[in-house]
Amino acid sequence: MLFGGAGSGKTYLLTSFLALAVSAFPGLRAAILRRQFKDARESVMGQTFPAVMKQIYGLSRPAVDERINKRDFCYRHPNGSEIWFGGLDDAKGMDNILGKEYGVIYFNECSQISYTSFQVAMGRIRQSVPGWRNRALLDCNPPSKSHWVYKTFVLKLNPDNTPLARPGDFAAMKMNPADNARFLPEGYIEKRLATMTGKEYKRFYLGEFTDDAENALWTREMIDPYRVDAAPDDLEKIVIGVDPAVTSGENADLTGIVAVGRRCDAGRTDYYVLEDASGVMPPADWAAAVRRLYLKYGANEVICEVNQGGDLVTEILRGADYALPVRAVRASKGKRTRAEPIAVLYQNGAVHHAGSNLRELEDELTGFTGAPGEKSPDRMDALVWGMTGLTEEHTVTGGHFWFT
């Protein structure tokens, strides 16, 4: 398992290894799997693999494409070897892929892959090819230390913290962007990676596994494996959750503004975190930000906490200029108590973060413990209010809505 910062060449190196392996061992069958088929098709098969084949064998893009069957997304080498490209979210495609035996499987961006999916795919590495030793290859930008990847390859433990039966079979190596600088765009490391902060800096620049806060309600393992590139178009309900700032001016608190949606299909309900528009801004500006998000996603309603003086802003949102459907809510329970049911949904794999631009929200979630004196997690509060609006019934009391 190769781990390290963004742009360190992990995918290119392992894809090159597979390209050389299928050439050297006739009949070898390999697979490159990602959590989402779209990423496997567009990123690895569409970009990295053709670049590798050009550098190693001098093949043009049309020559590479000619060897890839676009019906089953399989590259077939003239010696009879194969490389299959698949996504673990594609049930039909994975049935086709996992119906075969492999000599090697490469799990690309394995921090996004669940341990169950990893185990199922590992069961297919049982091909017999003369001279070849079967193996699995993995890479990732390091997630948190609670993730199965860290436990398995660094601590040599199973996810339940019991020792691995064969720890010597698992090896890890760190690769960082500084070691690959001459192949990266000018300024990428200095302007993009080195300017990151917090957990993003540790993960994408330093290539280090991050710590989850002790007793945190959320962990990275509850978020990363269930991430999607984009939410489906047929969400049945969308809510904008708002946790307004108490103060204004230079030292104002952050106003939490998060869009979430719900989709039910075949008896299963999934929830999607669409966007985090939180920021430090005066009431008029964050009211405008709420309206922008409401219109962008065609939301059904806005849920705004009014414990700390948010009534004025709900009037702005309901006024003639905005005329948004607003539910004013008051918190009668502590933050951790309100957040726990939502964290359970995450734990069950029912919540999906759309895209990769929710890092600040994710840092707040994985850092929240509910301990006395802990800084108020405004982004998390907005998420919890929005998600609560998607999951719980409400009653009307005294002109306001309270969740029961």
Residue 189 sits in a domain whose CATH number is 3.40.50.300
| CATH code where residue 323 lies | 3.30.420.240
Is 268 found in the same domain as 182?
A: no
C-alpha span between 161 and 164 (Å, rounded): 9
Is 237 found in the same domain as 170?
A: no
Work out the angle at residue 115's Cα, subtended by the Cα atoms of residues 153 and 222, and round it to the nearest 5 degrees: 105
Given 165, 198, 231, which residue is the final one in a domain?
Answer: 198
pLDDT for res 399: 35
Q: Quick one: CA dihedral 350, 112, 202, 260, positive or negative?
A: negative
How many Cβ atoms from other residues are within 10 Å of residue 354's Cβ?
19
Query: Which run of H or E residues covers position 248?
Result: none
Is 389 found in the same domain as 269?
A: yes
Is 251 found in the same domain as 192?
A: no
Give a yes or no: residue 205 inside a domain: no
Q: pTM here?
A: 0.68
Give a yes or no: residue 204 inside a domain: no
Give a yes or no: residue 207 inside a domain: no
Is 69 found in the same domain as 135?
A: yes
Is 183 found in the same domain as 34?
A: yes
User: 80: domain range?
Assistant: 2-198
pLDDT for res 398: 32
* Helices 378-391 & 335-347 angle (0-180, nearest 10): 70
Is 383 found in the same domain as 253?
A: yes
DSSP-derived letter for residue 154 is T
For each of the chain's 404 residues, which pLDDT tens digit applies?
A: 999 999 999 999 999 999 999 999 999 999 999 988 888 999 999 999 999 999 999 999 999 999 999 889 999 999 999 999 999 877 777 888 889 999 999 999 998 888 888 999 999 999 999 999 999 999 999 988 888 999 999 999 998 889 999 999 999 999 999 999 999 999 999 988 998 877 778 888 999 998 877 788 998 888 988 888 889 999 999 999 999 886 665 566 789 999 999 999 888 999 999 999 998 888 888 889 999 999 999 999 999 988 765 567 677 788 767 788 999 888 777 888 899 999 999 999 999 999 878 988 988 898 888 887 777 789 999 999 999 999 975 333 333 334 43
Is 278 found in the same domain as 308?
A: yes
Residue 256: phi, psi to the nearest 5? -85, 125
Give a yes or no: residue 252 inside a domain: yes
Give a yes or no: residue 211 inside a domain: no
Give a yes or no: residue 337 inside a domain: yes
pLDDT for res 225: 83
Give a yes or no: residue 282 inside a domain: yes
Give a yes or no: residue 284 inside a domain: yes
Is 178 found in the same domain as 57?
A: yes
Query: Domain count of the chain?
Result: 2
Is 303 found in the same domain as 172?
A: no
Q: How far is CA 131 from CA 14, 24, 76, 84, 389, in A?
A: 20, 10, 20, 21, 59
Is 102 found in the same domain as 45?
A: yes
Q: How many CA atoms lie within 13 A of 293 on its CB side?
A: 28
pLDDT for res 247: 63
The two structure tokens encoding residue 319: 């006024």
Is 260 found in the same domain as 370?
A: yes
